Amino acid sequence: KAVKDKKSSQSGSAQATPLYPAPVSDFNSLAPRYRLSKALLRNIKDNGYSTTTEVQLAALSLLLDTRAHLLAQEQSQDQKQQQQEPVLDVDLLSIAPTGSGKTLAFMIPLIHALVLARRSQTHSGPQAIILAPTKELASQIANEGRKLALNTAIRITNVRKGMHLGSDSSPDADAPEKDVPPVKADILVSTPAALKNAMGDTNTTSHALSQIRFLVLDEADVLLDPLFRDQTLAVWNALSSPSLRLGFWSATMGSNIEELVKATIKDRAERLSETTST
């Protein structure tokens, strides 16, 4: 990851700014550091989680720091300049074995970011997409997410066939899908195929997806393998936000996931710069 090393001070004795925020070994210590909402913290406890697993230990502080920064940036330019904390504005690739708790590691920062966003903004469209290769997995992730989001006002929808993603406030009441109510959610959890299906007509959808700021690929090695790749990219390429943050989660180093991820990001960046320059 490219991390800017801010040489902070002229005084030679100054400590270098740490590149990574300190890891978190238990969920309680997240509260004072990142001001997690009480509801989110309670849900973590109520579900029996107290100490973090290794991947959570590493990923939570990275993502929470990143997202705290993103939100501060949106809130005020002044605040951004004042911010002294080391900040990693990262897309994350996380590789950790099956059963190591990756779901929580991406879900907690996501819910936290959206809770904060809710306090400062009024928009209603979905802001995050989590893709998973199978319906079963997508539904498990949505369930886990809902338990964590209980009483936070963050809505999590498991996208299924027949749903459509027209915007909440869509002015085109004449749309043929008008009999199907649009999905109202902050976080969409889906297989690539179900999401593509729900996207339907691109005009209304690009509006509905214009506020997506987070894309999480769970089992990213599978989602980027030849079987799923085109569908995954179709979803990814429909997201227009220039500040889209990406999370790749995988249980395996197999299929050269790191190369794959880099190549895919580069592809997309080139495509975006082509479309904006023409």
Residues that bind ligand ADP (CB under 6 A): 49, 52-53, 56, 96, 98-104
Tell me the closest approach of the beta carbon of residue 256 to ligand ADP, in angstroms: 20
- H helix intervals, the chain: 30-34, 38-46, 54-75, 77-82, 102-120, 135-149, 192-199, 202-208, 220-223, 229-237, 257-277
Q: Which is nearer to Mg ion, 102 or 245 (CB)?
A: 102
Cβ-contact 64, 105 below 8 angstroms: no
Report the DSSP pairing between strands 92-95 and 187-190. Answer: unpaired
Q: Which is nearer to ligand ADP, 23 or 170 (CB)?
A: 23
- Residues touching Mg ion: how many (CB under 5 A)? 1
* 204 contact choice in ligand ADP, Mg ion, none (CB below 5 to 8 Å, kind-dependent): none
Cβ-contact 27, 48 below 8 angstroms: no
Tell me the closest approach of the beta carbon of residue 104 to ligand ADP, in angstroms: 5
Cβ burial, residue 274 (10 Å; 0-12/13-18/19+): exposed
Q: Which is nearer to ligand ADP, 56 or 191 (CB)?
A: 56
Tell me the closest approach of the beta carbon of residue 101 to ligand ADP, in angstroms: 3
Site string for Mg ion, 86-115 (x = CB under 5 A): ----------------x-------------
From residue 76, give the alpha-carbon distance in Å to each of 4, 88, 121.
22, 18, 12
Tell me the closest approach of the beta carbon of residue 107 to ligand ADP, in angstroms: 8
Return residues touching Mg ion (CB under 5 A).
Answer: 102
